Amino acid sequence: MSTELKEARRLLRSQGKRVTPQRLLIFEVMQEHGGHLDADELYLLAKEREPRLSLSTVYRTLNLLKEMDLIEELHFDEEHHHYEIKRRGAEHSHLICLGCGEIIEFESPLTDRIKAQITQDHHFQVTGAHVDLKGYCQRCLEGLTK
């Protein structure tokens, strides 16, 4: 069992929430697939392992995990949301391909420099940043030039 899953179990118990197999399964599937899943994708993947799982259970679990600050809900200019497990202390950004929809995570020291500059210039305490860059991945770019 991963450290994140153990922490999720501990947090659920400490807040008086039930530690159900469905909740653990949804969290595990998110870990295994690295995030950026929407509720429907998560449901289909988890249902392979637990055929009796319902889509409403997935939505309720996602809301609970979000309230507990264990996952993040991401909005990539689509009608539905994506979810990923929250990484403590490691801010990252996303490259979003407008061609195939691939989402690539990256970290950059520029984010820290921008936050420091904003703090200095505007006397504003930045507590977090979310950067999404949109464009085309290499595969889609090659397809556009053919």
Fold of 93-144: Dna Ligase; domain 1 (3.30.1490)
39 pLDDT above the threshold of 90: yes
Residue 122 C-alpha from the chain's centroid: 30
Q: Give the three-class secondary structure for 37.
A: strand
State pLDDT tens for residues 88-112: 666 788 888 888 888 888 888 888 8
In the chain, ranges of CATH 1.10.10.10 domains: 3-85
State pLDDT tens for residues 48-68: 999 999 999 999 999 999 999
CATH code given to domain 3-85: 1.10.10.10
pLDDT at 75: 79
